[in-house]
Amino acid sequence: MKLTIHGGIGEKGRTCVGAAQGATRLLLDVGIDTGVARGPGYYPALTRAELSLIDAIIVTHAHEDHVAALGWCLANGFAGRILMTAQTAAETDAVLAAYATPEERALARQAAVEIIAAGADFSIGPIAIRTGRTGHVVGGIWCHLSAGGRRLGYCGDVVPESPVFAMDPLPPCDLILLDASYGADRIPTAERGAAIRRWLAAHPEGAVLPTPLSGRSIELLGLIETPIAIHPAMREALERQVAATAWLKPGLAATLSARLAGALIWEERQALPPAALIVDDGMGMAGPSRPALAQAQASRHPVLLTGGIPKGSPADCMLAAGEAQWLRFPTHPTLPENVAIAAASGAGHVLAHSCDAATALTLAADIPGLVTGLAPGDTIEV
């Protein structure tokens, strides 16, 4: 089995890797890079000729760096199968509305999607595929591919110690791709969560918390102890995630439902509420976070950033100007967690996705078998 890098390794964003066995070719995720202008670096490194040969795309979850290039692939030669969970399918159009062109979004909306269930085995040509829950979002899956006696594990985005979402262990692998979004961060989830609660308690006037609609918004619902507010456009999607109890840790659905039911409602042109205002997306580039951050900036209202911040985004500009503060909330693995995932997989070779080349080099000292120096366009035998 051969793996080809089309994005997300040696760089942050546009996560996309190809797996091939014989004439069968798959893509695992098709993301975009929000840190660059729309153009060649924004989309996966794939030509029309390459896209025309792809048999299927498997999408692990509905975040822009994993799915927002789906319509672009369809517009540029891809005509194969599209597979994702029902929950990812339900969230994908909202991501495309924010990050794809209208034409790309329309093509993706018209395309047939095959629904897969986490834990169910299936095959595409000679490649046997198993999936499992990632602990990252409702509907998020990792992928395990087997062919020709070789085994490839692709984590997608995972959270081994999520207080809200469940993660299944990956089967043994010969090569595994780890989610290295947090690089060498070693601070555990409980410590990060406690710091966010303390910060919010110290800001009783409220604060704007821009965050992705899928995943972290639900985790913040479970974490925050002070009053919460949301934009009304988010309610249906949040309710759908809370209702998907098979993806949650046991016993949490009732608590999350109660927190969501009691949330205040904020809309554009209203005064910012004395509450933790959760608004998507997480960067101020789309959704209700754009007007909320603009209003917070004008009124000097507190802003707390809790995730990744692409260069040049509204969130990045506010942070640089001292108009926002940043406390990371763990929605990706810490370095000790990645060390444990790699060791449990038994993989002789390890790749780090969602981080740049310099970060991958620093991780090699702690993760045996980590292959560095790879970039989009490179291939490696599994």
Q: What is the pLDDT of residues 312-352, one digit of tens each?
A: 899 999 999 999 999 998 889 999 999 999 999 999 999 99
The DSSP secondary structure of 214-275, one letter per residue, reads TTHHHHHHHH--S-EEE-GGGHHHHHHHHH-GGGBPTT-HHHHHHHHHT-EE--TTSPPPSS
Give the pLDDT confidence score for residue 37 in this predicted structure. Answer: 87
- pLDDT interval class at 215 (50, 70, 90): confident
Residue 265 confidence (pLDDT) above 90: yes
- pLDDT interval class at 198 (50, 70, 90): very high
Residue 43 confidence (pLDDT) above 90: yes
- Distance (Å) of CA 242 to CA 1, 118, 226, 236, 376: 38, 17, 19, 10, 37
Mean pLDDT of 218-238: 93
Q: Are 247 and 142 in contact (CB under 8 A)?
A: no
Alpha-carbon gap, residue 346 to 337, rounded angstroms: 15
Q: What is the pLDDT of residues 110-143, one digit of tens each?
A: 999 999 999 999 999 999 999 999 999 999 999 9
Domains within the chain, CATH numbers bracketed: 2-184+331-381 (3.60.15.10), 190-326 (3.40.50.10890)
The encoded tokens of residue 10 equal 């040696």
Give the pLDDT confidence score for residue 2 in this predicted structure. Answer: 97
CA 188 to chain centre: 19
Q: Are 175 and 353 in contact (CB under 8 A)?
A: no
Give the pLDDT confidence score for residue 40 in this predicted structure. Answer: 87
Q: Shortest CA distance to 118 belongs to which of 160, 170, 67?
A: 170
Alpha-carbon gap, residue 185 to 197, rounded angstroms: 20
189 phi and psi angles, rounded to 5 deg: -55, -45
Give the pLDDT confidence score for residue 200 in this predicted structure. Answer: 96
- pLDDT interval class at 35 (50, 70, 90): confident
Mean pLDDT of 198-216: 93
Alpha-carbon gap, residue 206 to 224, rounded angstroms: 12
Give the pLDDT confidence score for residue 358 in this predicted structure. Answer: 95
- The mean pLDDT value of the chain amounts to 95
Give the pLDDT confidence score for residue 140 in this predicted structure. Answer: 97
Give the pLDDT confidence score for residue 271 in this predicted structure. Answer: 96
| Better pLDDT: 275 or 216 | 275
The encoded tokens of residue 327 equal 């406390």
Residue 303 confidence (pLDDT) above 90: yes
Q: What is the pLDDT of residues 59-115, one digit of tens each?
A: 999 999 999 999 999 999 999 999 999 999 999 999 999 899 999 999 999 999 999
Alpha-carbon gap, residue 105 to 70, rounded angstroms: 8
Residue 367 confidence (pLDDT) above 80: yes
For the CA atoms of 362, 375, 283, 224, the dihedral, rounded to the nearest 10 degrees, stands at -50
Q: Shortest CA distance to 9 belongs to which of 371, 354, 367, 358?
A: 354
Give the pLDDT confidence score for residue 85 in this predicted structure. Answer: 97
